[in-house]
């Protein structure tokens, strides 16, 4: 009875494809339940009913763990999203997040960029999720972009379905944006 709401909150994560919309109402209800249970536990302790107080305290802790697991899972997903897509949240994901999560994403992104700059001026820590096997990668343009100038390769004409051999470091950002597709 007292833990059903927190179970429902965690179950939302399991049944969603990426992340469910942030459930402010349910978290608020759980918080109110926890405050009520805590007050009852204190009252039970004053009445020397330690068994009832222990049960209520355990329920408060269970609800707290469920909410913290929910929040931790969401933040971990945001950190993975940053590594996969870069510093901008794709529009189809932004409607699932609340304002605090958007702020966290921006701050995490800024910290990651700052750390990356301090570690190495020429190394992008978010460039590849897997260690590269080759310096060059074969890619196919998924849309007409036109001519772009890359730092080391120079000018490249990206027209839909054209295949190019580019440096992995230069192609990584364009692959994440969906402009290029990696060919195995």
CATH number at residue 32: 1.20.58.1030
> For residue 129, is it within any domain?
no
Q: Report yes or no on whether pTM surpasses 0.85.
A: no
Give the 3-state secondary structure of the chain.
CCCHHHHHHHHHHHHCCCCCCCCHHHHHHHHHHHHHHHHHHHHHHHCCCHHHHHHHHHHHHHHHHHHHHHHHHHHHHHHHHHHHHCCCCCHHHHCCCCHHHHHHHHHHHHHHHHHHHHHCCCCCCCCCCCCCCCCEEEEEECCCCEEEEECCCEEEEECCCCEEEEEHHHHHHHHHHCCEEECC
> For residue 173, is it within any domain?
yes
**pLDDT band per the 50, 70, 90 thresholds, residue 133:** confident
Range of the domain at 35: 4-119
> For residue 130, is it within any domain?
no
Q: Could you give the number of structural domains in the chain? A: 2
Encode pLDDT of 91-123 as tens digits: 888 888 999 999 999 999 999 888 888 877 666
88, 119, 150 - which closes a domain: 119
Q: In terms of domains, do 92 and 162 share one?
A: no
Q: In terms of domains, do 78 and 17 share one?
A: yes
Q: In terms of domains, do 104 and 37 share one?
A: yes
State the chain's mean pLDDT as an integer. 88
Encode pLDDT of 79-99 as tens digits: 999 988 888 888 888 888 999
72, 94, 119 - which closes a domain: 119
């Amino acid at each position: 009875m007292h833990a059903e709401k927190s179970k429902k909150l965690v179950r939302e994560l399991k049944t969603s494809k990426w992340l469910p919309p942030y459930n402010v109402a349910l978290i608020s209800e759980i918080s109110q339940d926890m405050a009520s249970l805590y007050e009852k536990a204190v009252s039970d302790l004053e009445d020397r009913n330690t068994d009832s107080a222990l049960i209520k305290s355990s329920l408060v802790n269970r609800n707290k763990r469920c909410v913290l697991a929910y929040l931790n899972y969401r933040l971990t997903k945001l950190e993975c999203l940053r590594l996969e897509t870069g510093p901008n949240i794709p529009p189809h994901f932004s409607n699932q997040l609340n304002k605090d999560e958007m702020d966290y994403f921006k701050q995490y992104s800024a910290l990651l960029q700052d750390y990356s700059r301090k570690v190495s001026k020429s190394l992008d820590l978010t460039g590849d999720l897997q260690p590269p096997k080759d310096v060059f990668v074969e890619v196919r343009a998924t849309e007409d972009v036109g001519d772009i100038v890359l730092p080391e390769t120079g000018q490249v004409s990206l027209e839909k379905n054209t295949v190019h051999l580019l440096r992995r470091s230069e192609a990584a950002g364009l692959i994440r944006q969906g402009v290029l597709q990696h060919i195995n």
